[in-house]
Homo-oligomer: A and B are copies of this chain.
C-alpha cells in the first residue's frame, strides 16, 4: 500500500483555533479515490519545525500533500522550508509573476510588493495552477518522496486537489481504483448497536463497511469497487433490512428525503414548538421542496396560546397538536411539548388521527443536543406518517414513558 501523508501548517490549526476542514475533506476524498491516507500531521509556523517535519515525512512516505503557508506574509514559510529541506534555491517563476500582475490588474490594483514572494518557487519544482487565488501550488521531490504544496484557502485547496493533484496521481498510479460509496442514514441507535447487527454480514471481496457518527445521525457507508451497481444495490437492501427500524434515509440526508415526501404529498404543516423554539421550522425550511408547505407555523414559548390548559404532559401536547392544526387550518400539525428536566412530549396531528409520546433522555445531553434530538424525533414521526410506517419506535438514547394514538374515528 502507498504511504500517503498530509501535513497541515499554521499556528491557528495547531492550537485548535480553526477546525482543519481541509484535512477531513482530503481524507475522505482520497480514501474514496483509492488513495487512503496513512498519516496526517500538523505543525505551526516555526521555520525549523516545518523543515524537520518535511524531512521526517520525506523519509517515511511516498506521497505528501502539504497544506497552507503559501501566502504573501512573513508567517507563510512553506515554500522556503521546502527549498531548505530539498537543499535547493528559490527561483522566480516568470509565468506566475505574470499571472499575479494580471490578477491585480484585473481588479484595478497594482500588485503589492509582498505578493512577489508568491512567484518564488523551489528550483526544479513544477508549478500547479490556482485559477482562483494568488497562491500557486507546486510539486517537487524531497529525498525521493513526491510533495504537493497547496494553498490553505479551502475553495482554492479543494479545486487544486480535485482538478490537478488527483488526476496527476491517477496518471501515475494507473492500477489504483476508486471506490463507490452507498450511504444509509440512521437515527436512534448506537454505533455498537449497528455493528452488532452488521458484523455477521459476509461481504464479498472488495466491499467494506464504515460508520460516520455525528448527532443526530450515524451514517452506515458501504464501500465497494466502482461500477458494480448490481452487487452494491443488493448489499444495500440486505443492510437496510438488518437495521430497518433506525434507517431514516438512503443515499440522501433525512432532511432531503422528508422534504421530498412533504412535497409529493402536498400537505401543509403547522408547528407549535414549546421546547424546540423554531428548530423544527428551520429544519423543514432547510429543504426547498418542503418550504412551500410549511407556511403557517408558530413558535410558542412560555405560554400556550390555543386554549389548552397545562396538566398531563402527554394530554396537553396532544391537545395542542389538534388545536394548532385546527387554528392554522393545515393538514398536519407537529408539536414539541414542554421539556421538564430530562422528559419531553411530542405529538403529531394528521387527517388520519393523532399520535403523542412522552420520552426521557437516557444520557446527559447539552441543551443544544437535546433540542436537536427532539427536533429529529418530531421529523422522524412526520417521516413515518408520510411513508405509512409505525409512528412509535424504540430509540436507544431515549426511553419511551408513554404513548397514545387517537384515531380519526374517535376525533369525530
Contacts and interface: CB of A to CB of B under 8 A. Distances in A.
Copy number of this protein in the oligomer? 2
A106 interface: no
16 contacts: A12-B210, A12-B211, A16-B28, A17-B28, A18-B212, A18-B213, A38-B49, A39-B43, A39-B44, A41-B41, A271-B299, A281-B299, A286-B368, A295-B301, A295-B302, A297-B301
Nearest to A8: B40
Given A295-B300, A299-B299, A19 B19 contact: yes
Nearest to A53: B39
Interface string A306-323: 000000000000000000
Interface in A307-365: none
A16 B12 contact: no
A221 to B, nearest CB: 8
Interface stretch (A235-243, A272-280, A379-387, A402-410): A272-280
A260 to B, nearest CB: 17
A31 interface: yes
A278 B27 CA distance: 35
Interface of A: 12, 14-19, 23-28, 31, 36-44, 46, 49, 52-53, 56, 60, 210-214, 271, 273, 276-282, 284-286, 291-292, 294-303, 305, 367-368, 371
Q: Which of A278, A280, A291, A297 has the most CB of B within 10 A?
A: A278
Contacts of A43: 38-40
Contact of A291 (B17, B23, B41, B301): B301
A271 B282 CA distance: 14
A271 B278 CA distance: 11
Contacts of A46: 38
